[in-house]
Each structure stands twice: as C-alpha cells, then as structure tokens.
Amino acid sequence: MTLSGSDFNFIIKYPFSGKDWFVRICLQGAVLMLLCPFLIGIPFFTGFVMTITRRGIDGSADYPGWNEWGLFWKRGWKALVINFVYYIPILVIFFTYFAVVLIPILIGTATEVDEIAAIGAIFGAFGMVLLYACLFFYMIFFAVVQMATAPLIALDVPLSASFQFKQYIWPYIKANALNLVLAWLISYIAGLVAAMGMVFLFFGLFLTLPIAVAITAYAHGVIYRISPVKYKGQS
C-alpha cells in the first residue's frame, strides 16, 4: 500500500498537531541534542526518535513525554547496538584495505626499486577505487536496512529481529520500496527546511531540526502501520 494524500498530511502536521508541540518536540528535542556532544545524550536522542516512530505505528498524535526518558535510554541503546553490528563490515573493509593495499604501498615507497614502487602505486590506486565503491554501496544498503529496523526498535521486539533478513527485512523492503523512497524524500525536504534554522544564528537549528527529525521518524512509523509485511513476533 502506497502512502496516500491523507497519510502525507498527517505526517507533515504531526509535529504541530498538539498544544504542547513546542515544549515536547522542539524544546525536548533541543535539550537531547545538546546532550549529544557529551555522548550520554546520543542514546537518549536516538530513543526519542524511535518513540516518535512508535507513535506513527500506533497512529497516535501524542508526543514523547518528559517522563519517558527511561524508555528513550532503552530504545536508544538498542538502536546503537544494532547499528554497531551493521558497521562491523565497514571496519572489516578498512582493515582489509590496510592489510592488502596500504602495506604494499608503504613497502613500495620505502624501496629504491622503481618497478616495485610503480606496482605498489598501481595496486594502491585500484584498491582505493575498490574501497570507495564498497563503502558507497554498503552505506546505501545500511541506510535502507535502518529504515526496516527502526520500526522493530520502536516496537521493543527482540534484538535478533533486526537481523532476520529472510523472514522480515528483505520482504519488508521489497513490499515498501516506493514508500521508503518517499520517506527519504520527506527526510531530505525536511532537512532542507530545518537548515533554515541556521538563519537564526545557528541556535534556530536546535528548534527546526527536532521538527524535521519528528516528521521523518513519524513517516517510518506510518509506513510500517500500512505495510502488508510486518514482523510476526511483534506484541
């Protein structure tokens, strides 16, 4: 099922639909963002985003409450653990590049034999192209997988659910491909609008960015709600 006009309308209006939208979306989001440089704020803010996704899944126009920070913490850490696991292949790519490409380049540079240095340079250039190609395609894959796993984090299902490619992730992505592209466009446009906060001496960004994040997170919740494919073990 594709997002309808009423779905888009509901998604865009969500951050402004309640009387306390400024306090619970803008102000609360800004406070959590300001904590992120201290690292401890990262799981709180991530959990805040996941909780908004849960609102979209439930079809609720309610906002995350100040009394839900414990839930933010739990969902945020779960999201960080899942993302870390998916980042492991990137680390493997970098270490492989270092071992297979960079070391021969260093050896070739250190030697006075021109032929060895030339081979090392060619090998290094090819390896660099291959490295960036692998990173590019993997980051696209990672971004799409994040769209599929966000609803699972919001639903508080077991951690293992986020790695069930055959049972959930691939079927969900295939069934909602167009909607996920639309969600990316919503995120992109919302991000451009949020950047207007820079006009207000940078501090405005801390008010407009939570709104953009809320719109994107809520969109992913709505997509899951109307999706024909859902995680079978959800409560």
Give residue 166's identity as a one-letter amino acid code: K
pLDDT in tens, 207-233: 889 999 999 999 999 999 999 999 986
Mean pLDDT of the chain: 88
> So what's the pLDDT on residue 1?
79
pLDDT at residue 117 in the model: 65
Distance CA 173, CA 40 (A): 32
Whose CA is closest to 123, among 140, 137, 103? Answer: 103
Say which residues have a Cβ less than 8 Å from residue 85's Cβ, sequence separation at least 6. Answer: 163
Whole-structure pTM value: 0.88
Q: How far is CA 201 from CA 56, 58, 113, 139, 197, in A?
A: 32, 37, 57, 32, 8
Phi-psi region of 37 (alpha: psi -120 to 50; beta: other; left: phi over 0): alpha
Confidence of residue 16 (pLDDT cuts 50, 70, 90): very high
Q: When comparing pLDDT for 132 and 204, which is higher?
A: 132
Does residue 235 surpass a pLDDT of 60? no
Q: What percent of the chain has pLDDT over 70?
A: 86
> Which residues have CB under 8 Å from 30's CB, separation 6+?
206, 207, 210
Ordered by start, the domain boundaries in the chain are 5-226
* Average pLDDT over every residue of 1-24: 92
| Cα within 13 Å of Cα(195), Cβ side | 6
Q: How far is CA 81 from the centre of its chain?
A: 13
**pLDDT for residue 35 is more than 70:** yes
* Among 37-41, 150-154, 211-215, the least confident range: 37-41
Query: What is the predicted pLDDT for the residue at 96?
Result: 80
Which tokens in the block code for residue 2?
Answer: 């594709």
Range scoring the smallest mean pLDDT among 5-9, 62-66, 174-178, 193-197: 193-197
pLDDT score recorded for residue 12: 94
- What local confidence, expressed as pLDDT, does residue 210 receive? 93
User: Comparing 17 with 197, which gets the higher pLDDT?
Assistant: 17
Taking only the tens place, the pLDDT of each residue in 56-110 is: 999 999 999 999 999 999 999 999 999 999 999 988 888 887 776 666 666 666 6
User: What whole-number distance in Å separates Cα of residue 190 and Cα of residue 213?
Assistant: 8
Cα-based distances in Å from 91 to 43, 121, 127, 146, 156: 22, 23, 15, 18, 28
> Hey, how many other C-beta atoms are within 10 angstroms of the C-beta on 34?
12
* Of 51-55, 77-81, 125-129, minimum mean pLDDT range: 125-129
pLDDT for residue 232: 84
Confidence of residue 132 (pLDDT cuts 50, 70, 90): confident
Alpha-carbon distance 53 to 154, whole Å? 6
Q: Any idea what DSSP says for residue 3?
A: P
DSSP H helices, the chain, are 5-13, 21, 28-35, 41-58, 69-97, 103-110, 114-154, 170-175, 177-194, 205-226
pLDDT of 22 above 60: yes
